[in-house]
Structure 1
């Protein structure tokens, strides 16, 4: 009985025999004020002994903010604050030139020899393009012009090519060659026809659906059945 009385005195806050360590580990502690707030540590308890009241911070209720104007809303793409310029402090906007390409440059050729090529392309006039090799005239191509540039690089369609070449005096080497059988059906090599021959050279002809001729190989461009455009 005396041991139980002694334990109650150690856990009684008003008893001179109060033992704080025993009260911390005991489950039978009776608080003088059951409504006293529970503190986390001694640093929160010490200010309360000096007369300072500690109250929990008030909980702010979430209120729905009015919808902001999307033009004035701050940008969320960057966390750094952006400087707000006045209208007279904004950078000067310089109009940019439209980008130029082959199609736009062809429309600008209204004078000189390129205007003739542009006219043949617009009016679908068949032309005869003479080309060269390293020693002289190689042959010519009859076709329609699809595109061109200032360097006389020509994109031709529906091409009928005719050229001369030296006769081959060597036999074809067939030993060790394998025939290609897995060729795609749309990949066809243009067939070459020999229309005339002499003792040294032969004249060849072939049809090509599309052909790109470099300007350094072009000698002259002549139109077939050309008539000048009507004057406006």
Structure 2
């Protein structure tokens, strides 16, 4: 036999716990003096009621009731228009517009930067055949090349570096380059006095070739001063195949 009331106890559903917001809504419905939107709202009682939250908990509190007058309708007799607040609002709106325009400018610059193509890449893509294919391969693979240069009187020297730019006129830009070159200097050469002469030393100014070396972070080589271009091997000397291919470059 079942005990009286046992069946109803099994069918009864457990009550769910209510959130603080739901409890506050029920409390405001039961007592209109705690409802912020009710004509019978009691401000003193709402301040004395523990746990009662305003409709917008994150709203910035004002200094006093007098400052709330600007929130009234403009046709209300107690409406107060704060000129300083209006100016600040206008400045804030203008600042927001300027900030938004800066965001658009930065986004547009970023899009142009993403779509921007390196002009050297365009030059390399136009090369389809001929000896410039060697420069194209070295540029795309960031390989080091050896460039023999000249001056008006003959071979000046050579430079070796990573090829970072070139064009069809053989203008080159080398990075981390090492150059070995010669310079013609005028030096003073003194000879002893000739036998039977007046005893004066003979002085002559002659040209002397001096070998120099230097390290360059980046250097531009004009195409009209290029004699030969070759891909440099790991040891620093051009490979035979690269030298043969470069023979047609200049």
Name the structure where helix makes up a greater proportion of residues: 2
TM range, normalised to the smaller chain?
Answer: 0.3 to 0.5
Taking structure 1 as the reference length, what is the TM-score of the superposition?
0.40
Higher RCO (CA 8 Å, separation ≥ 6 residues): 1
**Higher Rg of the two aligned structures:** 1
